[in-house]
């Protein structure tokens, strides 16, 4: 963006430091970032546009883990599926950043470029333009919900004394390895099949028939 | 659980106060809860089993918003669908509590009882016992991902100067009201249809065929 090389390096360090603080404490402040970098708070503000600017640098750091090449695959479903897996892994490494990143508008250029590619993929495939953002958002929801779950304990429901939950205990004892991965596959495969229906119908989003 | 009435009241207040702190700051400490309640930290520890115990009281407060009567509906898909809607609304009111609650094991009796009912519903419907927890987890992921998204700005992607993202801009301009709700319907309906397939196959969780 025409900034000198040193400034770019500093922006990377600011994002990385804020992400470290979020990983450790769930949040950050600009003065804390400055302190950890050994600079004045004003120096940080010299490089970024306020707290929102730092959040975008954090988003950029987390999104570094996404493999955009997955979006070169065809058909569209294979591309979205592999992109979603890569996206889940990147965010699972930073679960405490998820609420901050999902409640603040996306402005980071690198991240916008990936969404641009997803939007282009869906439009070129023939999806109606009004369903593109609902599809992207639905995929986001599944990925981020699952990324949070990846840092959950494998035994998520602990039925203690005084609680009568025999069916839950039975279901838990029958569950195979990687509950979180199985759940993600189920949600993702159902989602992609529903999108395929939307593509064939060409219609708006509505509830599907089910049992 | 055999505790005197006053203690029960105090546990409710402890949970409510910790939830207030989470809503405001994203986290809580037991000393902060005590300070806000005007009591000694040791008094809080008298009522709860450490920080983990407070987290369960928070979970109980959030889960108060869930309508368990939705699970009386039949067929199973209608019950899960309405339960998921109620669950999404309850958690959307407290998005900052989501990461803490999803990464800590569920011990709160009231919450375990609801999962017991969901497990019983799925087993009685004829789902294989090994798919019950993946189904519950997948539904959790969709609901919690969407609950986070409900507190996102309606314009989530802001394409600024210097970023070339015309297809994303086109898709955004074509999106109708309630992007978040449309995405949730899409993910939920796809998920329930995929579960219906699992019920018919009786098999384990695997990727479905898609475009």
Query: What domains appear along chain A, each with residue ranges and CATH number?
Result: 11-62 (1.10.10.60), 66-201 (1.10.357.10)
Residue A26 has pLDDT above 90, yes or no: no
pLDDT of residue A204: 57
DSSP B70: G
CB atoms within 10 A of CB B154: 11
B100 pLDDT exceeds 70? yes
Q: Are B205 and A195 an interchain contact pair (Cβ–Cβ within 8 Å)?
A: no
**Residue A106 bridge partners (DSSP):** B157
Mean residue pLDDT across chain B: 91
Q: Do A156 and B187 touch (CB under 8 A)?
A: no
- Nearest CB to B193; choose among A142, A184, A210: A210
Burial degree of B126 (CB within 10 A; 0-12, 13-18, 19+): exposed
For residue B138, what are its two tokens?
């997948």
A104 in Cβ contact with A55 (< 8 Å):
yes
ipTM value? 0.90
Cβ <8 Å between B158 and A106: yes
Yes or no, beta carbons of B174 and A26 under 8 Å apart: no
Q: Is B29 exposed, middle or buried (0-12, 13-18, 19+ CB in 10 A)?
A: middle
Cβ contacts of A181 within 8 Å, gap of 6 or more:
none
Residue B33 predicted with pLDDT over 50: yes
Residue B9 has pLDDT above 70, yes or no: no
Query: How far apart are the C-alpha atoms of A135 and B185, rounded to whole Å?
Result: 10
Give residue A138's pLDDT.
98
* A209 has pLDDT over 60: no
Q: Quick check: B134 and A109 CB within 8 A? A: no
pLDDT digits (tens, 9 = 90+) for B162-202: 899 999 999 999 999 999 999 999 999 999 999 999 999 87
Interface mutation vs chain A, best among B92, B104, B137, most A CBs within 10 Å: B137
pLDDT (average), residues A25-35: 93
Res. B8: pLDDT tops 60: no
State mean pLDDT over A9-23.
93
Contact residues, chain A, for B209 at CB < 8 Å: 193
Give A153's pLDDT tier (boundaries 50, 70, 90).
confident
Q: How far apart are the first and last CA of chain A?
A: 53
Confidence of residue B205 (pLDDT cuts 50, 70, 90): low
pLDDT band at B210; cut points 50, 70, 90: very low
Query: Cβ neighbours of residue A76 under 8 Å, at least 6 residues apart?
Result: A121, A122, A125, B211
Q: Looking at beta carbons, which residues of chain B come within 8 Å of A195? A: 186, 190, 210-211
B5 versus A193: which is more confidently predicted?
A: A193
Unique residue bearing structure tokens 């009522």 = B47
Q: How much is the pLDDT for B62?
A: 96
- Distant-in-sequence, close-in-space partners of B204: CB < 8 Å, separation ≥ 6: A176, B128, B130, B131
**Which pLDDT belongs to residue A54?**
97
Residue A208 has pLDDT above 90, yes or no: no
pLDDT band at A6 (very low <50, low <70, confident <90, very high): low
Contact A196 B175 (CB under 8 A): no
Would you say residue A210 has pLDDT above 60?
no
DSSP-assigned beta bridge partners for residue A157:
B106
d(CA B65, CA B69): 12
Residue A206 has pLDDT above 70, yes or no: no
pLDDT in tens, A49-108: 999 999 999 999 999 999 999 999 999 999 999 999 999 999 999 988 998 999 899 999
Please give the structure tokens belonging to residue A101: 């990143």
Q: Note the pTM of the prediction, 2 decimals.
A: 0.90
Task: Give B38's DSSP letter.
Answer: T
Let me know the angle formed at the C-alpha of B65 by B62 and B68, rounded to the nearest 5 degrees: 115
Select the residue of B116, B130, B192 nearest A175 (Cβ to Cβ): B130
CB contact under 8 A, A167 and B199: no
Whole-number percent of chain B with pLDDT over 70: 91
Considering only the beta carbons, identify the residue of A102, A190, A194 that sits closest to B149: A102
| Residues A163, B113: C-beta atoms closer than 8 Å | yes
User: For chain A, what is the mean pLDDT?
Assistant: 91
Q: What's the rounded mean pLDDT across residues A186-200?
A: 97
- In chain B, what residues touch A93 (CB-CB under 8 Å)? none
Q: A95 is written with which tokens?
A: 């679960």
């Amino acid at each position: 963006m025409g900034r000198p090389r040193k400034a770019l390096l500093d922006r990377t360090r600011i994002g990385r430091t804020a992400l470290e603080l979020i990983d450790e404490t769930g949040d950050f402040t600009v003065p804390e970032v400055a302190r950890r970098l050994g600079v004045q708070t004003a120096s940080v503000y010299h490089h970024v546009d306020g707290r929102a600017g730092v959040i975008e640098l954090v988003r950029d750091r987390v999104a570094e883990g996404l493999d955009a090449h997955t979006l070169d695959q065809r058909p569209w479903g294979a591309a979205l599926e592999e992109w979603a897996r890569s996206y889940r892994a990147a965010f699972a490494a930073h679960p405490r950043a998820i609420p901050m990143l999902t409640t603040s508008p996306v402005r980071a250029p690198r991240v916008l470029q990936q969404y641009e590619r997803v939007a282009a993929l869906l439009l070129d495939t023939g999806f109606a333009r009004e369903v593109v953002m609902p599809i992207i958002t639905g995929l986001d929801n599944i990925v981020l919900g699952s990324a949070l779950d990846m840092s959950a304990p494998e035994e998520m429901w602990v039925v203690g004394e005084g609680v009568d939950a025999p069916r839950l205990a039975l279901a838990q004892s029958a569950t195979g390895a990687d509950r979180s991965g199985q759940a993600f596959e189920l949600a993702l495969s159902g989602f992609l099949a529903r999108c395929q229906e939307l593509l064939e119908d060409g219609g708006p989003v509505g509830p599907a028939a089910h049992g």
